Amino acid sequence: MSSHGHDVIVVGAGPAGLAAACRAAECGATVALLDDNPQPGGQIWRAGARPPKGKAARWLRLAGERQVGWIAAARVFAAPAPGRISIERSNGDIDLGYRNLVLATGARERFLPFPGWTLPNVMGAGGLQALAKSGYPVRGKKVVVAGSGPLLLAGARYLRGCGANVRLVAEQTGHSTLYRFARGLARHPAKLAQAVFLRAALLGIPYLSGCWPVAAEGSGKLESVTLRRGGKTWSEPCDYLACGFGLVPNVELAALLGCRMGEAGVEVDEYQQTSVAGVYCAGEAAGIGGIDLSLVEGEIAGYAAAGRPEAARKLFRARQSHRRFAAALAETFAPRDELRTLPQDDTLVCRCEDVGWGRIRGFSTWREAKLQTRCGMGPCQGRVCGGAVGFLLGWKPESVRPPVFPARLESLMRAGDPE
């Protein structure tokens, strides 16, 4: 195990992490940027079959020019002492020291359980898109895209571009709420242009508002999905259901470091500093808001972590405008109450530990349910069922313990040992 010190370490190389690393390095700080993926870019710019272009290419180029130290396929699984993190890689584990830490750990999709949601070929909307980006063949496959939020449109467009036969997009938000949101887009011209572009790219594909999946069926794997809209319920044959109900922030590492949580994610001050001095948080871990908010928060965190608060302050206004948009998104695409009625007693909620809805719905806290049923205690450590029980039962995670990701025994034994 080697031991190094950096002025700034950035965890997560999505838009927020890249922006933070570039801005900190530009101020003369020694910066390490690490991510558990082999390539930088995060969820949206992850390297795939196509080379990065536009904003992605610009930020990736800037990181090279600013000599940001890139540590690939490196997963932070513990924080053994103040100023140190433990990282596992395929070729061995390392322990790194930092003066300031920027957490840009992003978000994951929220899955809500309904009968059949664990059948093979029922996937996250972003998940199927990510698979397609890495070359998974979807050409000619019948795909239903369902759930909530703009990610459905982005996913449907990408899948169609890969040759998938996208049958329809089912958005659970109702028509009048969507209409109000669309009218408000006039205040955000770039977002309006993006929405128009996406809708144009999906011409011919029905976009059904106020529509959601109630069951997925198939023997051995998905064959059809039952959808509900208004008083009507019908079955739609498909090979894949790409389904996600918005995003939930990845806050486990921040929680492990003792950072306070807010309603939307990790709580931060105006410089993106968390309640722990020297630990910053930017991007979707601090609240879901899309790529532009992630970028500007990353820049602010990078400047602040490198000791340039005056440069950070110049970006406060831009951040405010993106935050307003994020608030409108959250309000518009909040999951509707009817989705709480979808799981049946035998519907799995925790798929790692095979715990069904009937076994957990009687408990009053997640801790109680964990103790009695092991719900949320499997390999994903509640990353999948946590978002679901948060919505279904209002439960919040009560404690996080290391390792925040499964790690090799050898790594666990050596974590925090500088020798």
Ligand X SMILES: Cc1cc2nc3c(=O)[nH]c(=O)nc-3n(C[C@H](O)[C@H](O)[C@H](O)COP(=O)(O)OP(=O)(O)OC[C@H]3O[C@@H](n4cnc5c(N)ncnc54)[C@H](O)[C@@H]3O)c2cc1C
How many Å apart are CA 143 and CA 160, to the nearest integer?
9
Q: Identify residues 320-379 at the interface with ligand X (CB under 6 A).
A: none
Binding-site string for ligand X from residue 87 to residue 116, where x marks contact by CB under 6 A and - marks none = -----------------xxxxxx-------
Nearer to ligand X, 122 or 151 (CB): 151
Near ligand X by CB under 6 A, which window of 6-14, 267-275, 310-318, 352-360? 6-14
Nearer to ligand X, 356 or 376 (CB): 376
Tokens representing 121 are: 């070929």
Q: Identify residues 400-419 at the interface with ligand X (CB under 6 A).
A: none
How many Å apart are CA 265 and CA 221, to the nearest integer?
35
> Which residue shows structure tokens 């924080």?
79
Nearer to ligand X, 113 or 290 (CB): 290
Residue 159 found at the interface with ligand X (CB under 6 A): no
Binding-site string for ligand X from residue 256 to residue 285, where x marks contact by CB under 6 A and - marks none = ---------------------------xx-
Contact 111, 89 (CB under 8 A): no
- Interface residue with ligand X among 21, 25, 59, 75 (CB under 6 A) is 75
Give DSSP secondary structure letters for 136-174.
---TT-EEEEEEESTHHHHHHHHHHHTT-EEEEEEE-S-
Residue 21 found at the interface with ligand X (CB under 6 A): no
Query: Residue 371 CB, nearest distance to ligand X (Å)?
Result: 26
Residue 173 found at the interface with ligand X (CB under 6 A): no
Q: Identify residues 41-70 at the interface with ligand X (CB under 6 A).
A: 42-44
Query: Residue 233 CB, nearest distance to ligand X (Å)?
Result: 28
Give DSSP secondary structure letters for 332-383.
HTPPPGGGGG---TTSEEETTTTEEHHHHTT-SSHHHHHHHH-TT-STTTTT
Query: Residue 181 CB, nearest distance to ligand X (Å)?
Result: 16
Nearer to ligand X, 42 or 147 (CB): 42
Nearer to ligand X, 8 or 151 (CB): 151
Nearer to ligand X, 68 or 247 (CB): 247
Binding-site string for ligand X from residue 190 to residue 229, where x marks contact by CB under 6 A and - marks none = ----------------------------------------
Neighbours of 321 (CB within 10 A): 14
- Give a three-class secondary structure readout of 215-241: EEECCCCCCEEEEEECCEEEEEECCEE
In terms of phi and psi (left: phi > 0; alpha: psi -120 to 50; beta: otherwise), the region of 165 is beta
Query: Residue 126 CB, nearest distance to ligand X (Å)?
Result: 2
- Interface residue with ligand X among 7, 9, 12, 145 (CB under 6 A) is 12
For 176-196, give one letter per residue: b (16+ CB within 10 A) or e. Answer: ebbeebeeebeebeebeebbe
Residue 35 found at the interface with ligand X (CB under 6 A): yes
- Interface residue with ligand X among 126, 382, 387, 397 (CB under 6 A) is 126
Q: How many helices (H) and strands (E) does the chain have?
A: 15, 19
Residue 154 found at the interface with ligand X (CB under 6 A): yes
Residue 242 found at the interface with ligand X (CB under 6 A): no
Q: What angle do CA 287, 247, 42 make, to 5 degrees?
A: 80
Residue 17 found at the interface with ligand X (CB under 6 A): yes
How many Å apart are CA 239 and CA 218, to the nearest integer?
10
- Interface residue with ligand X among 6, 9, 14, 156 (CB under 6 A) is 14
Nearer to ligand X, 104 or 306 (CB): 104
- Interface residue with ligand X among 21, 122, 130, 257 (CB under 6 A) is 130
How many Å apart are CA 18 and CA 302, to the nearest integer?
9
# residues contacting ligand X (CB under 6 A)? 36
Contact 236, 254 (CB under 8 A): no
For residue 77, give the H/E element and its range. Answer: strand 75-81
- Give a three-class secondary structure readout of 18-49: HHHHHHHHHCCCCEEEECCCCCCCHHHHCCCC
- Interface residue with ligand X among 31, 122, 145, 247 (CB under 6 A) is 247
Contact 42, 13 (CB under 8 A): yes
261 CB-near residues (< 8 Å, 6+ apart):
251, 254, 255, 267
- Interface residues with ligand X (CB under 6 A) are 11-17, 34-37, 42-44, 75-76, 104-109, 126-127, 129-130, 151, 154, 247, 250, 253, 283-284, 290-291, 294
